[in-house]
Amino acid sequence: MIIDGVDFPGGQHCETTAAGALLRHGGLDLSEAMLFGLGEGLGFIYWDAKSMDVPFLGGRSKPGMIVRTLADRLGLALEVRETGSPAKAWRDVVTEIDAGRPVGLQLDSYHLEYFSSKVHFGGHVVAMRGYDDTDAYLVDTAQQGGLVRTSLASLAQARAARGPMTARHLSFTLTVPSGRPALGDVIRAAVRGNAQTFLGPPIANLGHRGIAAAAKRIVTWPDRAADPARDLPVAAMLMERGGTGGALFRNLYRDFLAQCLTIVDDPHLRDAHEMYAAIAPLWTDVATLIESTGRSGRREPLLRASALLSELATREHEAMRTLATFATG
């Protein structure tokens, strides 16, 4: 059983790609940047643990929150299922597919056979559009192939994986109602929510405070990395090409703000868009400098990355304050 018309061409980030595929099939076609912004996806986390080769710089909300926030903002019917039983988890999915409804899945991408990069990531999200006796048919990002397939055995492994950011065989469906809130109102609410979260992080490694913390700590990375020549370029790659849309999701948010301006003409919104248009390339510069230190062994590029991160903490704080003014104006 394979459902026709389930795709999201050109998707860059896994969760927005999966959500976009489900919503397009349901009759709501929004750009990936709009999905990301309305889902209040922009964020920052400096995530460190003893088991990690180097800390992780994340640029978005935690897995699953974009879909949940989108459903809340747009009045979508979201049904989420989690279970410790692999058999029940499979029945949940098959029931929806057989009824003609594509399903979102959260899983560990390490086990998916079409993934060329074998790194455990338990927060990966795909849309499932069908299955047969041997394979599952999925929608993933353009980087991973778009319309792809993996064996049922590998899908079961991916859904059953345990570790950081994993879920218990999580699946979800999205249903588009006949009536939805005015998009201009949704934009203001989403911008307000994202700005408040970013400006008032509960702990020091999140939001603008997290960027400032990263500026101080990043200079220690070569000393703690088991293999700086390997670990620092990987960290840089994840910032630019790890499903972020480039510049640690700042490209996507810049484009979201640009699209908002076609719906809501507001001077604060225009100012914030210009700020993020200038901010995004600086994140790409940070990634390039991290990679340069890893490949060359010289610390000078990492010192420059630290200075840029300090500047970015200030710039993003200002941009989000501007967006908070727009959202409440």
Q: Where are the domains of the chain?
A: 14-30+77-175, 183-325
Model confidence pLDDT, tens digit, residues 15-35 = 999 999 999 999 999 999 999
For residue 81, list its beta bridge partners: 171
Question: What kind of fold does domain 183-325 have according to CATH?
Answer: Four Helix Bundle (Hemerythrin (Met), subunit A) (1.20.120)
**Mean pLDDT over each residue of the chain, to the nearest integer:** 94
Interacting residues of 35 by C-beta distance below 8 A, sequence separation 6+ = 16, 19, 20, 23, 66, 70
Distance between CA atoms of residues 63 and 55, nearest Å = 18
The tens digit of pLDDT for each residue in 244-274 reads 999 999 999 999 999 999 999 999 999 999 9
Supply the pLDDT for residue 67: 97
Q: Please report the pLDDT score of residue 327 as a whole number.
A: 63
Q: Exposure pattern of 293-305 as b/e (b: 16+ CB <10 Å)?
A: bbeeeeeebbebb
| First CA to last CA distance, the chain | 50
CATH number, domain 14-30+77-175: 3.90.70
Give the pLDDT band (50/70/90) at residue 91: very high
Report the pLDDT value the prediction gives residue 117, as an integer from 0 to 100: 77
pLDDT of residue 187: 96
What's the pLDDT tens digit per position in 116-158? 877 888 999 999 999 999 999 999 999 999 999 999 999 999 9
Q: Which residue is listed with tokens 């991160």?
A: 309
Burial 114-131 (b: 16+ CB within 10 A, else e): ebeeeeebbbbbbbbbbb
Instruction: Say yes or no to pLDDT of 221 above 90.
Output: yes
Neighbouring C-beta atoms of residue 257, cutoff 10 Å: 24
The token duo for 94 is 């098959």
As a 3-state breakdown, the chain gives helix, strand, coil percent values, each rounded to 5, of: 55, 15, 30
Convert the pLDDT of each residue in 151-181 to its tens digit.
Answer: 999 999 999 999 888 899 999 999 998 887 8
Written as one letter, the residue type at 117 is S
pLDDT score, position 328: 63
pLDDT-above-70 percentage for the chain? 99
Q: What is the mean pLDDT of residues 185-192?
A: 94
Six-digit token pair at 18? 């999966």
Q: How far apart are CA 300 and CA 119, in angstroms?
A: 29
